[in-house]
Chain A
């Protein structure tokens, strides 16, 4: 009883879950992206490496420079290891990698760098850094490429064995001739599922590898599995309704789910916790809204692809999903009934749209 340590006063609770850290969560996303990345490099060769490196470096370096400038403006002494720098918790790295994987393989490097830097600055740092951003940095950067540099972002399609449609993606074909079965000859479903020999963005061609990443994230509980499930299911059901109306086969909804960025966006971009709602039911509703907007853009919009746009659009509505007057942390009977009503209305809108427009 001779030894008495200093007794420090704290407030309860005194324990923390040891494995719950931001680093673990973000590192898991990087690990889940590895198969997709490897496949992109295998598929598109050295150009994929350049684009991915450019995307990651543009975001990480921009973040680093931004924090150094802020510190300078606050008249703090210069340090190489900045205190607010967030590379150590992988967040900028994750944004950069996701951004790189959404790009087309023919995108020039300078376009990648300019959009990446602007993307992380405008989406993340203008709003106050990690945890404060409204928009998903990767999605915003991708949209900057799509809008500002649309003509540069081409699909070179180094993939050899597609005949006749070199340079065109599945969705491009689908957008030009919406309801024709002819495209099935060029893009069989197994190819869309595995991504072998399919043109498209670096990371989004292989649904199989994305699923492997999703399962890893799900097992490690590093993302909210309800968002991608609701998202993909919504696209599938809405496309299924259209298929029934037009007398198309099961290939039509499957094509919508497997092609383009739906799988990739649902698993890796929509689940970004910072830019998604906070409670369990809100997240399901959010996934549904994303699927709906994506499908509407694809079907009625001029663009072949709607995933990043729908993510940015729904990002704006996240605070209203969490609004205190109607948000509740558990599923309620009333909420579920309302949600069912909204689903019915959504289906009706799609059917009416297809009837009058399509």
Chain B
């Protein structure tokens, strides 16, 4: 196969049509006290204290990324234990035992619409900072920093492309809760004084357009928002590709899109903006996909942040018995992180867990077919970087632009010889670092 290929089989039929299952009353939740960016933390509560939903129980320190920690259920605080994080490291987690009363903290209020209409950009940024909203698509980048941009913004793009195979939680979120997303977008447009909003979806997801268009005409006739169908390929959901496809705008490597007057947010994040602005609520629950070919009953869940994934796997009737080796992947199957155990927790930024039967691919020598070069969305030459890594030629790796790689995994996916090209490029990236 020598071609520029960006079609990845998407396997979304496993979960796409099924209604989301609510699982909002776990026995107990585990809240991450550290994450990839914040290594230290302060915990304001101790074993045995009573907390309510939305209450601040501590703060993660990380300079720029400092953020308060919120309780996601009401109940009693338990001990601090070590659990696996999305990044693959073990981090401290505090347990909160659910009292099933679902009492909200007094800070959670219903802001009337006329108050919201008066909010300025700075006030909204402050609310988002207090509610520690981050990019829920997986980046975990604090939303308040993005929203506080000083550049004039003319277009806000809501990224609902969800190009990773298997995942359908964003899809279900729009189908089931379109108003939350549109209100969130309305608040963002208001904060940034942008004149145009675009909701970017994949071209094969027609139901999303139907739902959004209907809600737009009925509920928000004045909102300057359009639903735009982008290409049906991978990685269409990469921010740069979204701008390229939706606006014809090429943001060069190393520059922020805000410089060009555009900004993008993930769908879940937009829904999170709505919750924070309207109800003063932090992210206490999220849409979550549990799928894969080695699980009995793939399903989308609406879960509390902090729910144990073991419990969700049990709800999905467990692993299929015909596979004795599986990969448990947090995130999508192209970019996600594989874990060593299923003892993991749904954090704010975990979009999904995918359980795949473990396959060992037979690697053959590279036949220089060039598919990786044709397909690379970052426009680098993965096979050349691989050769540079094999010879440990750092200067060459730098010249080949290995640092531009976004690790989308397409080069390994299309490889004729089934070589794990992405791993080589990743190695090169580590060796040369980011020379921006």
Asked if A294 CB lies within 8 Å of chain B CBs, one says no
- Beta-carbon contacts of A183-224 to B below 8 Å, as 1s and 0s? 000000000000000000000000000000000000001111
Query: In the complex the two chains form, what is the Cα distance from A250 to B10 in whole Å?
Result: 51
Q: A9 is contacted by which of B339, B371, B414 (Cβ under 8 Å)?
A: B339
Bin the interface of chain B by size.
35 or more
Q: A1-B313, A322-B384 are in contact. Are A13 and B333 (CB under 8 A)?
A: yes
Which 9 A-B residue pairings sit nearest by Cβ, starting from the closest?
A13-B409, A131-B365, A1-B314, A13-B334, A20-B1, A221-B3, A273-B369, A8-B358, A14-B333
Interface centre among A12, A22, A89, A274 (most CB of B within 10 A): A12
16 pairs, CB–CB < 8 Å, chain A vs chain B: A3-B319, A5-B294, A6-B324, A15-B333, A15-B409, A16-B412, A16-B413, A20-B415, A22-B367, A25-B2, A89-B364, A130-B364, A131-B417, A224-B2, A273-B369, A278-B368
Q: Which residue of B lies closest to A89 (CB)?
A: B364
**Interface segment, one of A37-45, A96-104, A255-263, A323-331:** A323-331
Q: A3-B321, A15-B165, A25-B1 are in contact. Are A276 and B418 (CB under 8 A)?
A: no
**Interface segment, one of B51-59, B171-179, B273-281, B372-380:** B372-380
Secondary structure dominating the interface of A? loop
Q: A6 is contacted by which of B325, B334, B414, B416 (Cβ under 8 Å)?
A: B325
Contact B384 A10 (CB under 8 A): no
Secondary structure dominating the interface of B? loop
Asked if B420 CB lies within 8 Å of chain A CBs, one says yes
Contact A12 B407 (CB under 8 A): yes
Contact A329 B373 (CB under 8 A): yes
Asked if A77 CB lies within 8 Å of chain B CBs, one says no
Q: Which residue of A lies closest to B410 (CB)?
A: A13
- What's the nearest-Cβ distance from chain A to residue B430, in Å? 12
Q: A3-B321, A7-B327, A329-B380 are in contact. Are A12 and B2 (CB under 8 A)?
A: no
Query: In the complex the two chains form, what is the Cα distance from A132 to B364 in whole Å?
Result: 12
Residues on the B chain within 8 Å of A224, using CB: 2, 370
Q: A22 is contacted by which of B374, B383, B407, B416 (Cβ under 8 Å)?
A: B416
Asked if A21 CB lies within 8 Å of chain B CBs, one says yes
Asked if B194 CB lies within 8 Å of chain A CBs, one says no
Query: In the complex the two chains form, what is the Cα distance from A16 to B342 in whole Å?
Result: 24
Contact B328 A7 (CB under 8 A): yes
Contact A222 B2 (CB under 8 A): yes
Q: A12 is contacted by which of B5, B336, B365, B383 (Cβ under 8 Å)?
A: B336
Interface centre among A7, A14, A276, A280 (most CB of B within 10 A): A14
- What's the nearest-Cβ distance from chain A to residue B233, in Å? 13
- Beta-carbon contacts of B409-432 to A below 8 Å, as 1s and 0s? 110111111101011001000000
Residues on the B chain within 8 Å of A20, using CB: 1, 371, 414-416, 418
Query: In the complex the two chains form, what is the Cα distance from A42 to B3 in whole Å?
Result: 35
Residues on the B chain within 8 Å of A21, using CB: 416, 418
Asked if A151 CB lies within 8 Å of chain B CBs, one says no
Asked if B228 CB lies within 8 Å of chain A CBs, one says no
- Beta-carbon contacts of B336-347 to A below 8 Å, as 1s and 0s? 111111100000
Contact A13 B422 (CB under 8 A): yes
